[in-house]
Chains A and B, each alone.
Chain A
Amino acid sequence: MRRWFETLHRGHALVLLSGLLVGACQSPTNDDKIDALGGECQSVAESEFHRAGQPCLLCHDTYEGADPHMSVAGTIFATPNIPMPVADAKVTLTDANGTQISTTTNCIGNFQIETADWRPAFPLHAEIECPIPGSEDRRRLVMGTRISRDGSCAGCHFGPPSNKSPGWVYCAATMPDPPYEVDPNCAGICTETSQ
């Protein structure tokens, strides 16, 4: 459990660093942003399990063109300070025309909605329903403001809360008891030690 925690943490350091790098130059381009995210973790395939916590649409959009093209995608974590992924969280989005779509997160907390399935009219309304460990109940968290155009949750939700970000999307203010756990066989766990 410790291992992935550290690696994910490093992943976030990268995202944060990319924010700093992008911030350093006044005309950020998508290329800079993508380069700043760093390379793939060698132990995780380029799949729905990769790059947890990163802004998926930077690459999975018409610009970079990585297949599949996505309209909305992101990652759900446990608490504002513990970037442990939460599986089986339900994400529901409603677009400007009132069309709704729901999906659930995989074992590394990632979810994605492909443009082939949904091309929403912005702005979007977002809410999540998190599983509660050891309980049948779910916890509903509703985003009050709208998403105007960025389909990546991580476009706004990155790192711990700061003046630029509400922090990553999380399920609980503090780790519940019993705690969230990650499936040790999850294909998204990065076991790479040097990078």
Chain B
Amino acid sequence: MKGARRLFVALVSIALIGCFSEAELGSAQALCPPADDFRAVNNVLERRCGTLDCHGSPYRPFIVFGQTAYRRPDLSHIDNPNYFPGGLEATTDHEVRGTYESACGLEPEEMDAVVRGEGKAESLSIVRKPRLQSKHKGGRIWGAGTTEGDRCILTWLTGALEKEACKNELRVP
């Protein structure tokens, strides 16, 4: 009898877990650097990291969305004949948001610590990998502190985005 009751409680709990809405689960969000102006960062990530054979792929933990990268599945664009990588539809806000969420979700605890000023931005994979300070299949994209792209990412993480640096990175093909 006791066993049956326990089973009942367990089943009800499972059913309840299934009912939690996204908003309820999302309430335990980790902090992330500002989303405003992330488009400037997205432009750099799209160019340097977002080709379809690299992070422009749904199979990577870090996904880059955009006009020339992976296009974020989006019902409002389902009939848009230009919604494909290289299509005329420019990178959408929904895509910028997608890359932002992917970057934030990569190492949420570490990112949270960086935003709270308790961790170093230099310890995050999004900084270390392109510098090849950690193992990176895509090799070295830029050197530590030597390019505008590195600066663009770093200043975004520390909350004082230098949009000029992001723009300058795009001057190099």
CB of A28 closer than 8 Å to a CB of B:
yes
Q: Which chain A residues in 158-175 approach chain B with CB under 8 Å?
A: 161-167
Count chain B residues whose beta carbon lies closer than 8 angstroms to a beta carbon of A. 24
Q: Which residues of A contact B108 (CB under 8 A)?
A: none
Count of chain A residues near B, Cβ 8 A: 22
Residues on A with C-beta less than 8 A from B159 are: none
Whether B54 pairs with A149 at a CB distance below 8 angstroms is yes
Is the Cβ of B138 less than 8 Å from the Cβ of A148? yes
Residue of A22, A123, A163, A166 with highest tally of chain B CB at under 10 A: A163
Q: CB < 8 Å: which of B53, B73, B84, B86 contacts A149? A: B53
Return chain A residues, CB-CB under 8 Å to B81.
161
Q: Which of B51, B73, B77, B84 contacts A148 (CB 8 A)?
A: B51
B68 within 8 A of A: yes
Residue of chain B at shortest CB distance from A125: B173
Q: Are B59 and A163 in contact (CB under 8 A)?
A: no
Instruction: Determine if B73 and A147 form an interchain contact, defined as CB atoms under 8 angstroms apart.
Output: no
Contact A167 B53, beta carbon cutoff 8 Å = no
Residues facing B in A138-195 (CB within 8 A) are 144-150, 155-156, 161-167
B68→A145 contact, CB < 8 A: yes
- B72 and A163 within 8 A (CB): yes
Q: Which residue of A lies closest to B71 (CB)?
A: A163
Which parts of B72-123 form the interface with A (CB within 8 Å)?
72-74, 77, 81, 83-87
Contact pattern, A 28-39, Cβ under 8 Å of B = 1, otherwise 0:
100000000000
A155 touches B52 (CB 8 A): yes
The docked-state distance in angstroms from the alpha carbon of A152 to that of B134 is: 27
Tell me if B143 is interfacial: C-beta within 8 Å of chain A.
no
> Is there contact, CB below 8 Å, between B84 and A163?
yes
Task: Chain B residues near A134: list those with CB within 8 A.
Answer: none
Residue B70 interfacial (CB < 8 Å): yes
- B33-73 interface code vs A (CB 8 A; 1 in, 0 out): 00000000000000100011110011100000000101111
| Given A145-B68, A148-B138, CB of A164 within 8 Å of CB of B54 | no
- Inter-chain CA distance A146–B53, complex, in Å, is 10
Q: Are B53 and A161 neighbours in the complex by a CB distance under 8 Å? A: no
Once the chains bind, are A150 and B84 in contact (CB under 8 Å)? Answer: no
Residues on B with C-beta less than 8 A from A148 are 51, 53-54, 138
Given contacts A145-B51, A149-B54, A164-B85, 14 further A-B contacts (CB under 8 A): A144-B68, A145-B86, A148-B53, A149-B53, A150-B53, A156-B85, A161-B81, A163-B72, A163-B74, A163-B85, A164-B52, A165-B52, A165-B85, A166-B86
A-B contact pairs, 24 of them (CB 8 A): A26-B59, A28-B59, A144-B68, A145-B47, A147-B53, A148-B51, A149-B53, A149-B54, A149-B137, A149-B138, A150-B52, A150-B53, A155-B52, A155-B53, A156-B52, A161-B81, A161-B84, A163-B70, A163-B77, A163-B84, A164-B52, A164-B58, A166-B87, A167-B84
Interface of B toward A, CB cutoff 8 Å: 47, 51-54, 57-59, 68, 70-74, 77, 81, 83-87, 137-139
